[in-house]
Amino acid sequence: MADLYPVPFPDDAAIAKLEKVSLYKLLNDDEDEAQRLFQVCKETGFFYLDMMDHPKGKQMWEDACTACRAGQDVLPRVPMQEKKLYKAPAGVRVLDQGYQTGAVKDNGQPRDSEMFMVPQSGMFGKDATSFQLPFWLAQHEGRFKAAMKTGNTVANIVLSVLERELQLPQGAFTSLHRLADSSGDFLRVLRYPGSDTAEKVDPLRFPAHKDAVSVAILFTWLGGLQIVEPQAAPAGVVTVPEDSWRWVKPLPGCAVVNLGDAMEVFTNGMLKSGLHRVIKAPGQQRVHDKYSVLIVARPEDQTPMKAFKSAVIPEDSPEQKQAEVFTSIQWGNNKIKALQDVIDKIQSARRGKSDKLERSW
């Protein structure tokens, strides 16, 4: 485990103050802990989840570590042309499958980052009998399935608490996030190659954004994730002052959990989707390859993306009542396309050409 933390997090980095929520207490219906989680989700949507105080959490931590090891095994050594053969199928998708990277160096290594996605529907859903991972990932399929299964369990623990605090019927959220549903859920392993500490940080290579998901569960061992204080990013604002960004310090045994835009939609903005970005690691951590494992829960594909009704969720405005309602899969596809368009425009304006990802649509 020590090799996942090769260098300590720097003492002089400006760190975000995140609440640490106990999985054990949530599972034991601790109302104070549920209220604390609910309050965090109304303010920032970001929190640490202590995975070591309950067997289900410990299992997920171990599964995430093994998924990380799989990434360490394949991403640096499999040739780029081979990795790029693992593509997402065409059509309305949410980046739940395939390999992605941006600019590639002359030595065949990614300049900034690379990632692969394993679709949950391909492991557990209706596609499970026909879907096949590429040979360089197939050897690790058992690890990925274990991590996705425990991830779905943990995501639904959080969702069950939120539906209760929102005075919704039992199952209002959890019935939309079942393991075998077609929903665009995925496990993603990301690699950010190490770089010289003197290299200038370029945050616009992948701009600040929010996730088109319900719940995102991140395991990471080196710095790079940044968030802003709520007052620095009011609703609708994506551009914030550079000095407002704060590092999220990885804590051993904890996942970093954030709500995505789906939860804002379902609650008419009562719950908050966390604005964030990922840049080069701070201090001496930057010279080391950074790996992250991300497991997300999204609503079932045909879920109408509109607010639920309860005594505490704000009612729709007249404009909302007239607006078109998309299904979850179309809504997610629209959100991802919009983010990709922003990235393409930034790169085109700065370089006269685009370093776009290879699209699957």
* Percent of the chain clearing pLDDT 90 (strictly above): 77
With beta carbons less than 8 A apart as the criterion, state whether 211 and 260 touch.
yes
pLDDT for 42? 97
Averaged pLDDT for residues 92-119? 90
CA atoms in the 13 A half-sphere facing the CB of 317 = 6
Report CA 164 to chain centroid distance, whole Å: 24
Averaged pLDDT for residues 192-205? 73
Averaged pLDDT for residues 117-146? 93
pLDDT value at 249 more than 90: yes
Tokens standing for residue 55: 């067997």
Split at pLDDT 50, 70, 90, the class of 347 is low
pLDDT for 203? 58
Helix, strand or coil, per DSSP, at residue 210: coil
pLDDT for 359? 46
Q: Element (H or E) spanning 97, and its range? A: none
For 37-85, the pLDDT digits (tens) are: 999 999 999 999 999 999 999 999 999 999 999 999 999 999 999 999 9
For 275-297, the pLDDT digits (tens) are: 999 998 999 999 999 999 999 99
With beta carbons less than 8 A apart as the criterion, state whether 281 and 8 touch.
no
Greater model confidence, 30 or 234 = 30
Average pLDDT score, the chain: 90
Dihedral in degrees, nearest 10, Cα atoms 36, 39, 40, 43 = -160
